[in-house]
Structures are given as C-alpha cells and as structure tokens.
Structure 1
Amino acid sequence: MKDSQIKVSIVIPAKNEAKNLNKWLPRLAEWNGYNELIIIDDGSDDNTAKVAKSYGAKVLRNPQSLGNGASIKRGFRETKGEVVVFMDADGQHKPEDIPKLLETLESESVDMVVGARDAGGQASKARYLANVFYNRFASYVTGQEIKDLTSGFRVVKADKFREFIYLLPNKFSYPTTSTMAFLRAGYLVRYVSVNVLRREGRSHISPLRDGVRFLLIIFKIATLFSPLKVFLPFAALSFLLGLGRYIYTYLEMGVFTNMSALLMVSAVQIFLIGLISEQITALIYKKDN
C-alpha cells in the first residue's frame, strides 16, 4: 500500500497495554504500510504512552478512562487518511493481516472490511456462543449475513465512517453500531477470515455486564435499522396470546375477559409503534439530493 494514492491511518485504543504493545508494535512498524499511527491511551497507569511513542505513534491521552468507544471516536477525529484501520491493542490482531483487509477494500470497492474470527479466536466458549447469537440476530434484522458483528479489527472508508460517529457508544461495542449503521445506509460490508491470537493478561470486558450492554445496543440499533422486524414478532405474540385466551374463556365460560382485550390492544399498540419507528428511521437515513 506504500505506493498507493490511498492514505492509511491506524487507530488503536489502549488501556494498560504496554506489555502487549511492546510485543507486536515492532511487527506493525516493520510492515510500514500506513501513513499515520494514532494510539489513544485511555487512562492507563502503566507505560502504554511511552511504548507507543517509541514506535512513532501519535499518542492521545485520556486523563481518565472514557471507554473503548470514546477512544475510537477521539482517535478517528484526529485522522487524516482516506482509509482508517481499527485494531485492538491486546495483540490479538496480527499486523500481517492488514494488507489482506486493505486489498479487499480496494479491489472490491466496498466501504468496510471486517476481520472475522473463527471459533478458535474467541476468548472463551461462552463468548463464542454469545457472538453466534449476536451474529444471527443481526443477520435477521439486516437481511444480510453478518459473520462477526463484534470484531474490533476492521478497515473503513473515513468519509463513510464519519457519517455515523455520533451513533457510537462511549464504552464497548462500537463495532456493533458501526456495522449495522453501514448496512442500514446501504453501504457495502465484506468479511475476511483472520486468525486471531489469545490475549495475554486480563480482558477489560466483563462477560456479564458487557454482554447485557451488547444485547441492549443490538436492540437499539435494530430499531434504527428495521423497527418492524423487532416490533412485529412481539405484536404477533401478544395478539396470539390474547386470541388464544379469548377462545379458551369463550369455550369454557362463554365470556370475553379483560386480559384478552388487554393483550389484543397491546398487540395493536406495539405494531403501531413499530410502524411509526419505521417511518422515522426512513427519514433519519434519507439522503439529501
């Protein structure tokens, strides 16, 4: 990519990752296929900033930990490249895979390329199963196959990513938000299989706390992407429960109960909320002529 006209920026959020950065940044520096390297020190209390600077990185330091998403946004705002590479600092992502992602972005004329992990690249069996669920749910909502919704290893066109930066959460799961926003806007996303390494040291992700957070953000973005796909099943379930109770009480007691009425009315209300949300979503993503 050094001879290409495309300017490449690399953005890496890092918190207490001095040891890991010291191991793999030499390989990134050896490749040298980028124009700028920005590392955001998210309130570290080790030598993360010092190590990053020793390899020529521009270091942005958060005085206290603001979160992975906030660091991504701050780093992205400082980039000058037309293409931005996002990586984790823990050494899971291999610099040797970056050219593969960049080549796919350029050769296939897509807007985002995601490094998709296999089962062996997951931190644990529970994390793998959770990601399988996320991928399938997001695929249902978008109508497109999503192979790795939460991968933090991705390459994007800067002008496209800039459109959705305001949607990104300050903590974890910026990958979830950016992927679904790109797909909702009709931008092209591709997946490239990569082999990731197990991180050394303790992960900053809490499986329970951040698992719930990931799920909530998926529902949030799902309602932005295609609200009726989320609301309609709940409306149908509520209506069928009300209808089933009505049939039962009518056959057994010859009455139409308040519970049956409540369930059916709730079904109509849920459907209407979904319909209104669908119209609002269409307006949000409407392009100016």
Structure 2
Amino acid sequence: MNNKEVEIFSSDIKYSLIIPAYNEEEGLPVVLNDVFKLISESFEIIVVDDGSTDRTREVAQRFPCRVISHEHNSGKGAAMKTGIKEAGGENVIFIDADNTYPPEGILEIAKALEIYDMALASRKTGHENIPVFNRIGNALFRNSIRYIYGFQGYDPLTGLYGIKKAYLKSMNLESKGFGIESEICIKAARMGLRIKDIHIKYRDRIGKAKLNGLKDGYRIFTTILKFFPLVFRRIKKPGLPV
C-alpha cells in the first residue's frame, strides 16, 4: 500500500511531525519551508501523500523529509495512521498541509509535551477564515466532545496538536477520514490525559479545501455517537517506555 521514498532514522529523534497531504502541491511547500526554518535535529518530518493526483509527492521530495505515498486516496485518518506507524519519535505532532496553522505552534507543542500528555493549538481567533457552515458545525462538535466526554482542551477538531506515541498506539484508532481528530480527543479524555491548550490564530488556507462541510460533518457526528459507550467507562492509560 505504501511507497517509502525516503527513510531517515536516528536515535536522536524525539519528535515526529506528521503532515497528511492530499492534493496540496500549493500549500505543502510553504508549510515545509517554514517548518525547516524552525526545527532542530530532534525532529523528523513525515509527509504522507494520500494518493494525490497533483504534484504533492514531487513537492515533498524536494525537502529532507520522509515521504510515504498511498496508492489510492484513503482519507485523512488513514494517512495519519500510516504516519503514526512509521514515526520514530516518542512524541507525535500533526499539522495540516494547507498553511492554516502557524508553524511556530509546533515548537510550543513540543515544549508542552515535556510536561503534558497532549497539547493542542486551539483556534481561538481567525474564525473568519472558516466557512460559516463549518464554523457552526465546529461549535456543535467541539462542545459535544468537551461536555459529553470531558475533553479538557478548547478545540478538539484542530489540525495542529501533539501527543505521546504510546498513547496513540493504545487507542487502536479506527477512523479513516476527518473523524480521526474526534476519536483521538474522545479517547484522550477517557484515558485521563493531561492536556495543554495553546491559543493560535487560524489562517486562510492555500489551495482548495478538502473537507466537505455536509458529508464530513456527518462523519464527525457519527464518530462522536459511535464512541458514546466510553462515557460510562475509562480507558487505561498505558505506561510510557523508560
């Protein structure tokens, strides 16, 4: 299923930055250029090209990152799970490929993961860059995850956040599409993870939006309903490797 273009492993890698990308040839090079100006050797960058039909893969190959390609478009969740499987760092950070999130937030998240189990960049400002229909859906889903499942962060649907890899592995993630963030945050809440909230300004995207407000909103809604039994039980928090 996957074609590994570049593999770089190092015992010095502490953070794996995963960038799921589908037809993001415009935004991805901007994101990667900014990221490589900020990070140290303790980071590895993994771009998961989710069956793009444009030049996303070729653009990613211009940078010193690992590029993993899906033969067919399988969804954001599937791309993220591929990245998690390949990640060499004990800390996993995700960022969207459309330049909507400030890359400086990556360093704030990395710092927070020294103390917390999870850190997320909450979109407290920049709401004008989110379509009105999506904004309404975000508010509904955000409050459902926070108040039903007890999630402590402000924005469980953010596309920029970090979490310990050990916790992601123990979650046995199922979502293939845009419901992946909801699933991760629901399970993080029921696992009792310590969460750090970092406020950022959401920016206008580069390129065409991939999220369909109606179709993907329905998938997020069904994801929230699917895990409702977790309201009545906790998930065991795994111990971290020494």
Q: TM-score range by the shorter chain?
A: 0.7 to 0.9
In structure 2, what is the equivalent of residue 170 of structure 1? 176
Residue 215 (structure 1) aligned with residue 211 (structure 2): no
Q: Per chain length, whose mean CA-contact separation is higher, i.e. which structure has more relative contact order (CA < 8 Å, sep 6+)?
A: 2
Aligned-partner Cα distance in 1 for 2:58–2:13? 29
Residue 184 (structure 1) aligned with residue 190 (structure 2): yes
Of 19, 37, 41 in structure 2, the residue corresponding to residue 12 of structure 1 is 19
Q: Which amino acid aligns with 1:131?
A: N
TM-aligned CA distance change 1:140 to 1:32, over 3 Å? closer
Residue 97 (structure 1) aligned with residue 102 (structure 2): no
* 8 Å Cα contact 1:136/1:146 also seen in 2: no
Tell me the SS of whatever aligns to 1:39: strand
In structure 1, what is the equivalent of residue 38 of structure 2? 31
Tell me the SS of whatever aligns to 2:29: helix
Shift of 1:44: 0.8
Tell me the SS of whatever aligns to 1:194: strand
Of 129, 139, 148 in structure 2, the residue corresponding to residue 132 of structure 1 is 139
TM-aligned CA distance change 1:8 to 1:169, over 3 Å? same
In the comparison of the two structures, how many residue pairs are matched?
226
Aligned-partner Cα distance in 1 for 2:102–2:84? 21
* 8 Å Cα contact 1:131/1:149 also seen in 2: no
Tell me the SS of whatever aligns to 1:40: strand
Aligned-partner Cα distance in 1 for 2:125–2:229? 29
Residue 46 (structure 1) aligned with residue 51 (structure 2): no
Shift of 1:85: 0.9
Of 173, 185, 196 in structure 1, the residue corresponding to residue 202 of structure 2 is 196
Q: Which amino acid aligns with 1:220?
A: K
Shift of 1:101: 1.4
| Residue deviations 1:202-247 (CA, integer Å, cap 9, x gap) | 21111111111111111112x1321xxxxxxxxxxxxxxxxxxxxx
Aligned-partner Cα distance in 2 for 1:288–1:147? 24
Alignment of 1:56-71 (within 5 A): 56-71=64-79
TM-align CA RMSD: 2.0
Of all paired residues, the percent bearing the same amino acid is: 28
Aligned-partner Cα distance in 1 for 2:221–2:36? 36
Q: Which amino acid aligns with 1:24?
A: V
* 8 Å Cα contact 1:168/1:178 also seen in 2: no
Shift of 1:172: 1.1
* 8 Å Cα contact 2:191/2:237 also seen in 1: no
Q: Which amino acid aligns with 1:83?
A: N
Alignment of 1:240-251 (within 5 A): none
TM-aligned CA distance change 1:96 to 1:287, over 3 Å? closer
Say which is worse superposed, 9-18 or 126-135, in terms of deviation.
126-135
Residue 225 (structure 1) aligned with residue 230 (structure 2): yes
* 8 Å Cα contact 2:32/2:63 also seen in 1: yes
In structure 1, what is the equivalent of residue 120 of structure 2? 114
TM-aligned CA distance change 1:186 to 1:203, over 3 Å? same
Aligned-partner Cα distance in 1 for 2:197–2:237? 26
Q: Which amino acid aligns with 1:52?
A: A
In terms of fraction of residues, the more helix-rich structure is: 1
List runs of 5+ in structure 1 lacking aligned partners. 227-277
Instruction: From the CA coordinates, give the structure whose radius of gyration is larger.
Output: 1
Tell me the SS of whatever aligns to 2:140: helix
TM-aligned CA distance change 1:36 to 1:141, over 3 Å? same
Q: Which amino acid aligns with 1:210?
A: D
Q: Which amino acid aligns with 1:128?
A: R
